[in-house]
Amino acid sequence: MSSEPDAAAEARRSDLAANLADVRARIDAACDAAGRTRDSVTLIVVTKTYPASDVRLLAGLGVREVGENRDQEAGPKAEACADLDLRWHYIGQLQTNKARSVASYADVVQSVDRARLVSALSAGAVRRGRELDCLIQVSLDGDAARGGALPQDVPALADTIAQAPHLRLGGLMAVAPLGAEPGRAFADLAEMSRRLRESHPAATMVSAGMSNDLEAAVEAGATHVRIGTAVLGVRRSLR
């Protein structure tokens, strides 16, 4: 094998480095504008549809948290990157029959939205001897088809997660409603997080904000932003 750096890989590396610098500057500016410290927001780079080679380049650029939304893709990618120091966030809608697989590589499951998923994730985590952080995905527009628990179902689901072996309740996750100004929805999420922490003080994570709306999310108090397109480029459609 040649030891010369592959030109295409080097070009990709410098693109990713430039995009990451832009995104980190946006997060820093949003923190400054909101009067928040810069280390109060964690960047999760969403690598879905992009290859393990990109994950490897990102790790070399200091990325520590990555997000994926399909088990079939995420499992092999996590395995190919097992030597890297990464935390894997599962952020997609999750079928119950995939939960055991996801529990074998994910560190955080952000899309828990029903009790049946909790027992399946717990069983998988116990079997693997792993601890999983779970976020409850909340529907901010009441449209269950896009995933997410209804706000009124959050307290019971939170208790179920908190009591499940090998699962920890980390907090809440949401996607801004389509076609609406995201600030209001993110403020609602922040209020739900405040209420959740009254009974679960350790559940401090608020995962909100994507490439187009990270500023609004940081302003509303997000602790984690999930950024794909702005780092890796526009995804090709999957199907």
CB of 198 to ligand PLP, least distance (A): 26
149 binds ligand PLP (CB under 6 A): no
89 binds ligand PLP (CB under 6 A): no
- Rank residues 108 and 126 by Cβ distance to ligand PLP and give the closer one: 108
227 binds ligand PLP (CB under 6 A): yes
Q: Give dist(CA 94, CA 100) in Å, integer.
A: 11
Phi, psi of 187 (to 5 degrees): -65, -40
**Contact (Cβ atoms closer than 8 angstroms) between residue 74 and residue 109:** no
135 binds ligand PLP (CB under 6 A): no
Q: Give dist(CA 162, CA 166) in Å, integer.
A: 9
- Please select the residue that binds ligand PLP; options are 91, 132, 158, 220, rule is CB under 6 A: 91
94 binds ligand PLP (CB under 6 A): no
Q: Give dist(CA 173, CA 192) in Å, integer.
A: 11
48 binds ligand PLP (CB under 6 A): yes
228 binds ligand PLP (CB under 6 A): yes
DSSP string, 160-181: HHHHSTTEEEEEEE--PPTTS-
75 binds ligand PLP (CB under 6 A): no
Q: Give dist(CA 155, CA 139) in Å, integer.
A: 14
Residues that bind ligand PLP (CB under 6 A): 46, 48, 69, 91-92, 175, 210-212, 226-230
